[in-house]
């Protein structure tokens, strides 16, 4: 049993390293902040797992008293790691929604710390304190999901609603696993009564981890790796190749919101799609059967509306957004 937990923990830590490394590579390519936030998320989660791994390793040759089953080891450090994990996720949510208010960016994390410290200071040692302390993470996750739902209901643009609906699988997985985390914590901390006469270290391993939380992290790793891989395939610094179906699909998905954000006309949107495919003015004029001067005028207007001096800057800005 101990060997199984050992390799399980190592595997989850390796996933954190891989996902964080790929996300960092994607950030260096496109400079999108959500990739950098994912790096921070996996880094803090890796440290959280490393702390669990350390406690299990040090506890292998020592007796495991029953009161330690309900203890919160290194509460200050665990609170710090939890803030890093949850604030990284919250910044990803805010970046996706275009939320830039500084107060809202930090207020949930401050509230989390205040409530966690209150639980640590006010409540006596026992299962209820342990359950409330760790359940604050799930409260934070539910807050993130609730805020996304609230913004979705307030959005009036059909394009923005469509963009947000594309994240429905991730949101449903997050909600389901968050509820599973709460259920697992309830069973392990409030329901299960470990045998004080048992010499096995199973209570130690079970008290230090939540499998549903690990699965949620793996789900985040999957979606993060998929997003980072798509970014790396596009080769951010090089003009996209029009024959590449992946690039053309990405342009088709992102173009409506980009054009609406910058107030472009239908014709400018049509020309921008061809610009992003790496076509010059002459090829665009031939394909759309327009005068060369008309195409040049539209391209000039597009650059003016987006605030860029060249096609290269425009292309980088499009893939970054």
Domain that holds residue 179: 2-234
In this structure, is residue 219 part of a structural domain?
yes
Rounded CA-CA distance 137/27 in Å is 27
In this structure, is residue 176 part of a structural domain?
yes
Residue 30 has pLDDT above 90, yes or no: no
Whether 80 and 125 share a structural domain:
yes
Structure tokens at 159: 């394009």
What are the residues whose beta carbons fall under 8 Å from the beta carbon of 220, sequence distance 6 or more? 19, 38, 41, 89
Rounded CA-CA distance 111/28 in Å is 32
Overall pTM surpassing 0.75 (yes/no): no
Least confident of 65-74, 88-97, 305-314: 65-74
In this structure, is residue 21 part of a structural domain?
yes
Whether 230 and 258 share a structural domain:
no
Residue where a domain terminates, one of 234, 265, 290: 234
| Number of structural domains the chain divides into | 2
Average pLDDT, the chain: 84
316: left (phi over 0), alpha (psi -120 to 50) or beta: alpha
The percent of residues above 90 in pLDDT, for the chain, comes to: 39
Q: What is the pLDDT of residues 227-279, one digit of tens each?
A: 888 777 765 555 555 556 666 777 777 888 888 888 889 888 889 888 888 88
Least confident of 84-88, 106-110, 242-246, 250-254: 242-246
Rounded CA-CA distance 26/233 in Å is 10
Q: What is the pLDDT of residues 185-206, one digit of tens each?
A: 888 888 877 665 555 555 555 5
Nearest to 193 by CA among 283, 147, 127, 260: 127
Whether 27 and 159 share a structural domain:
yes
Whether 208 and 279 share a structural domain:
no
* CATH number assigned to the domain comprising residue 302: 1.10.10.10
pLDDT at position 160 is 85
What end-to-end distance do the CA atoms of the chain give, in Å? 47
Contact predicate 46/65, CB 8 Å: no
Return the sign of the alpha-carbon dihedral for residues 215, 224, 87, 82.
positive
* CATH number assigned to the domain comprising residue 129: 1.20.1070
Structure tokens at 240: 């996209």
pLDDT grade for 83, boundaries at 50, 70 and 90: very high
The per-type count for the chain, helices as H runs and strands as E runs, is 14, 0
Rounded CA-CA distance 284/295 in Å is 7
Nearest to 35 by CA among 86, 81, 91: 91
Whether 51 and 170 share a structural domain:
yes
């Amino acid at each position: 049993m101990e060997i199984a937990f050992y390799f399980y923990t190592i595997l989850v830590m390796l996933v954190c390293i891989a996902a964080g490394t790929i996300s960092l590579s994607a950030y260096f390519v496109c400079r999108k902040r959500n990739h950098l936030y994912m790096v921070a998320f996996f880094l803090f989660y890796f440290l959280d797992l490393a702390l669990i791994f350390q406690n299990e390793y040090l506890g292998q040759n020592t007796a495991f008293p029953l009161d330690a089953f309900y203890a919160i080891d290194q509460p200050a450090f665990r609170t710090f790691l939890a803030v890093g994990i949850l604030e990284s996720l919250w910044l990803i949510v805010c970046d996706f929604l275009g939320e830039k208010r500084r107060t809202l960016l930090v207020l949930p994390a401050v509230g989390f710390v205040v409530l966690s410290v209150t639980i640590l200071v006010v409540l006596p040692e026992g299962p209820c304190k342990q359950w409330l302390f760790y359940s604050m993470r799930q409260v934070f996750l539910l807050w993130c999901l609730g805020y996304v739902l609230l913004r979705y209901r307030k959005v009036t643009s059909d394009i923005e609603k469509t963009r947000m609906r594309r994240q429905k699988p991730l949101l449903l997985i997050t909600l389901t696993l968050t509820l599973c985390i709460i259920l697992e914590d309830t069973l392990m901390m409030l329901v299960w009564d470990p045998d004080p006469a048992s010499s096995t270290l199973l209570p130690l391993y079970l008290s230090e981890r939540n499998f549903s939380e690990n699965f949620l992290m793996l789900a985040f790793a999957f979606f993060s790796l998929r997003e980072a891989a798509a970014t790396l395939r596009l080769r951010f610094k090089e003009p996209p190749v029009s024959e590449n179906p992946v690039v053309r699909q990405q342009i088709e998905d992102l173009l409506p919101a980009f054009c609406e954000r910058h107030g472009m006309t239908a014709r400018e949107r049509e020309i921008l799609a061809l610009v992003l495919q790496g076509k010059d003015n002459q090829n665009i004029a031939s394909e759309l059967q327009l005068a060369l001067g008309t195409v040049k005028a539209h391209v000039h207007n597009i650059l003016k509306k987006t605030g860029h001096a060249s096609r290269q800057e425009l292309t980088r800005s499009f893939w970054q957004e």
